[in-house]
């Protein structure tokens, strides 16, 4: 695939996914759908799209699953190594820079993945998004994947920088629920994860999500 | 050409002497033997590693350890001999441990990492233009097989022990381990034994003599530095006793 071949790229970059990430007070909150597609085929209905990279940093993935998983493995190894060499947690900005370098270095044979990297370090909660060629932007709220326009439409008018953790969980869930309703590529169920100050990475249990499903999706996942 | 007792075989790099010995490797072991003491003790509840470090001036940062290293979440290393050589070996171990995680998505075993360090040491006894490492390592931790302790020396030899020591006080420490070691010890008892052995191995306790100790409890499988505030209550009576008893 040549860099000039725009149509081929547009096709390759088409994802069927919604992931969102947003900064809350002393936390970063993530929500994703769990539908994995291969064209019009639903390949998996409980695919994991948000992963811990370390105790203090998480990543969401959209795009080619194999590429993203491979990136996650390399990032994890490097974050562990950083931690042990310096006896200090790796800043989120450094994690984003590492992912950026990996992706930029293979820009002619790219990792087809849109990433959200977020977590808490000594600077506080931080959120970054990366495209397949390795461009990085810092965000306070962001969505990736085919459902992202719908999700952003929900996120943006309802977000404020000092949003509480509980409100942020609701907002993230609501945004993914909206794109599940209106984006054919997103669906099935919703994962919610967070990195909280002094707590680290965690995910909401099915019980904790039950009232959210009831409120925003009107049905429980199967 | 002046040939000493060892002939010229101690000047060329790792060439066999007619007696079948590798003098450079033996000299490297001598470097280890004259290094400051490092020891490790295993028990069911985990492993303990302790080292003596001498502060040569009050300007030195006492928080900086140059003999104890974290290799992975659940693996540590204690070194004796040339610190610079030890650091290079430890960094190799750290990278290898992460490589194993990347390749197999599992917690690396202590044995795999220790043998890798041994392999690297062996390479430096057989290649041209290099010298053997002037350091030995005690590589210890808790993995899915339990508490493990390996010793790796400049020849490339790797052996497993329940408790072991390297450096100039090693003989006295090992003597104490032979008499007092029990596999059924608790981790706290292992800490006490490690400190007793370390104190007993020193000829003279001077101003700059410090002890550093890490635990890797089986319960957490995490390399944990024990702060001086926790060590001092155990250490103080041992030092007092040593002062009273004079020469051991």
Optimal mutation site among B61, B91, B92, B98, interface A, most CBs of chain A within 10 A: B98
pLDDT score at B248: 47
Distance of CA A79 to the CA centre of its chain: 18
A34-39 LR contacts (CB < 8 Å, sep 24+): A34/A188, A34/A189, A34/A190, A34/A191, A35/A185, A35/A186, A35/A187, A35/A188, A36/A65, A37/A185
> Does A86 contact chain B (CB < 8 Å)?
no
> Is A17 designated active site?
yes
Residue A115 CB contacts under 8 Å (≥ 6 apart), including other chains: A59, A60, A61, A62, A68, A71, A99, A129, A130, A144
Average pLDDT, whole number, for chain B?
93
- Mean pLDDT over A103-112 rounds to 93
Is the pLDDT confidence value at B247 over 90? no
Helix (H, G, I), strand (E, B) or coil at A112: coil
Q: In what order do the strands lie in the sheet with A19-24?
A: A141-144, A19-24, A27-33, A190-196, A200-203
Q: Confirm if A150 and A126 have CB atoms less than 8 A apart.
A: no
pLDDT of B93-103, one tens digit each? Answer: 999 999 999 88
Q: What is the pLDDT of residue A82?
A: 93
Per the CB < 8 Å rule, is A84 touching B101? no
pLDDT value at B89 more than 50: yes
Cβ within 8 Å, pair A73-B102: yes
At A199 the three-state DSSP class reads coil
Mean pLDDT of A13-25: 90
Kindly tell me the sign of the dihedral angle through the C-alpha atoms of B69, B71, B76, B79. Answer: negative
Question: CB atoms < 10 A from the CB of B12, how many?
Answer: 13
Q: State both tokens at A137.
A: 């932007």
pLDDT in tens, B209-245: 999 999 999 999 999 999 999 999 999 999 999 888 7
Rounded Cα distance between B49 and B76, Å, is 8
pLDDT at A222 over 80: no
What is the second-level CATH architecture of the domain B23-245? 4-Layer Sandwich (3.60)
pLDDT of residue B243: 84
Residues of A whose CB is below 8 A from B95? 81
pLDDT in the model for residue A8: 72
Chain B within 8 Å of A73 (Cβ-Cβ)? Answer: yes
CB contact under 8 A, B102 and A87: no
Give the list of residues 6+ apart from residue B69 with CB closer than 8 angstroms, or none. Answer: B76, B77, B78, B79, B86, B87, B90
How many other β-carbons are positioned within 10 Å of the β-carbon of residue A10?
A: 9
Helix locations, B105-135, DSSP H: 110-123
A117-128 pLDDT, tens digit each? 999 999 999 999
Q: Which residue has the tokens 């969980």?
A: A169
pLDDT digit string (tens) for A49-84? Answer: 999 999 999 999 999 999 999 999 999 999 999 999
- Ramachandran angles phi, psi of B14, nearest 5°: 35, 65
The 10s digit of each residue's pLDDT in B193-219 is 999 999 999 988 888 899 999 999 999
Gap between the Cα atoms of A115 and A19, Å rounded: 9
**Percent with pLDDT over 90 in chain B:** 81
For B74, phi and psi rounded to 5 degrees? -115, 10
Does B88 lie at the interface with A, CB-CB under 8 angstroms? no
- Ordered by start, the domain boundaries in chain B are 23-245
Query: What does the pLDDT look like over B62-78, one tens digit per residue?
Result: 889 999 999 999 999 99
Give the global pTM.
0.82
Q: Which tokens sit at A22?
A: 């947003």
pLDDT digits (tens, 9 = 90+) for A166-207: 999 999 999 999 999 999 999 999 999 999 999 999 999 999
Question: Tell me: domain A6-216, CATH 2.160.20.60, correct?
Answer: no
**Stretch (H or E) spanning A56:** none
pLDDT tier at B13, thresholds 50, 70, 90 = low
- Domain chopping of chain A, boundaries: 6-216
Q: State the average pLDDT over residues A29-37.
A: 96
Contact at 8 Å (CB) between B197 and B64? no
Give the whole-angstrom CA distance, residue B200 versus residue B241. Answer: 10
B103 Cα to chain A: minimum distance (Å): 9
Which listed residue (A15, A17, A37, A60) is catalytic?
Answer: A17
Cβ neighbours of residue B189 closer than 8 Å, sequence gap 6 or more: B43, B182
Angle in degrees, 0-180, between the axes of helices A165-182 and A148-158, rounded to the nearest 10: 150
Least confident of A32-41, A206-215, B4-13: B4-13
> Is residue B11 predicted with pLDDT exceeding 80?
no
Q: What is the pLDDT of residue A33?
A: 96
The residues facing B38 across adjacent strands are B51, B166
User: What ipTM goes with this model?
Assistant: 0.71
> How many CB atoms neighbour CB A13 within 10 A?
17
Give the pLDDT band (50/70/90) at residue A218. confident
Phi-psi region of B236 (alpha: psi -120 to 50; beta: other; left: phi over 0): alpha
Q: Quote the tokens at residue A110.
A: 């790219």
CA of B92 vs chain A CAs: smallest distance (Å): 11
User: How far is the C-alpha of B43 from the C-alpha of A131, rounded, in Å?
Assistant: 50
């Amino acid at each position: 695939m040549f860099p000039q071949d725009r149509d081929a790229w547009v096709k390759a970059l088409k994802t069927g996914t919604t992931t969102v990430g947003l900064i809350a007070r002393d936390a970063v909150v993530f929500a994703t759908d769990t539908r994995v597609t291969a064209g019009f085929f639903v390949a998996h209905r409980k695919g994991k799209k948000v992963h811990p990279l370390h105790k203090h940093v998480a990543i969401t993935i959209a795009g080619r699953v194999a590429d993203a998983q491979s990136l996650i493995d390399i990032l994890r190894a490097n974050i562990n190594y950083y931690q042990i060499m310096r006896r200090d947690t790796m800043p989120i900005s450094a994690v984003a820079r590492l992912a950026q370098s990996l992706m930029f270095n293979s820009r002619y044979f790219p990792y087809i993945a849109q990433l959200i990297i977020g977590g808490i370090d000594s600077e506080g909660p931080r959120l970054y998004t990366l495209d397949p060629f390795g461009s990085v932007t810092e965000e306070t709220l962001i969505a990736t994947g085919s459902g992202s326009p719908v999700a952003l439409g929900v996120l943006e008018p309802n977000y404020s920088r000092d949003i509480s953790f509980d409100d942020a969980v609701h907002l993230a869930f609501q945004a993914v629920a909206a794109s599940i309703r209106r984006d054919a590529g997103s669906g099935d169920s919703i994962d919610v994860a967070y990195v909280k100050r002094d707590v680290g990475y965690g995910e909401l249990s099915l019980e904790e999500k039950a009232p959210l499903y009831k409120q925003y999706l009107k049905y429980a996942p199967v | 050409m002046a040939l000493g007792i060892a002939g010229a075989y101690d000047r060329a790099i790792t060439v066999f002497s007619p007696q079948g010995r590798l003098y450079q490797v033996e000299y490297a072991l001598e470097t280890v033997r004259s290094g400051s003491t490092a020891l490790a003790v295993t028990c069911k509840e985990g492993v303990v590693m302790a080292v003596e470090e001498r502060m040569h001036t009050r300007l030195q940062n006492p928080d900086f350890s140059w003999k104890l290293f974290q290799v992975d979440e659940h693996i540590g290393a204690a070194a004796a001999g040339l610190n610079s050589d030890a650091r290079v070996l430890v960094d190799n171990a750290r990278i290898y441990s992460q490589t194993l995680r990347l390749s197999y998505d599992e917690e690396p075993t202590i044995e795999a990492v220790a043998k890798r360090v041994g392999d690297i040491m062996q390479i430096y006894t057989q290649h041209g233009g290099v010298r053997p490492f002037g350091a030995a390592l005690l590589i210890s931790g808790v993995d899915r097989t339990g508490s493990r302790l390996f010793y790796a020396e400049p020849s490339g030899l790797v052996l497993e022990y329940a408790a072991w020591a390297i450096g100039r006080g090693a003989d006295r420490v090992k003597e104490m381990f032979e008499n007092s070691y029990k596999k059924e010890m608790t981790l706290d008892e292992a800490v006490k034994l490690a400190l007793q052995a370390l104190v007993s191995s020193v000829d003279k306790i001077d101003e700059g003599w410090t002890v550093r100790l890490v635990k890797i409890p089986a319960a957490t499988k995490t390399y944990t530095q024990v702060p001086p505030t926790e060590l001092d209550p155990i250490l103080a009576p041992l030092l007092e006793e040593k002062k009273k008893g004079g020469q051991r």
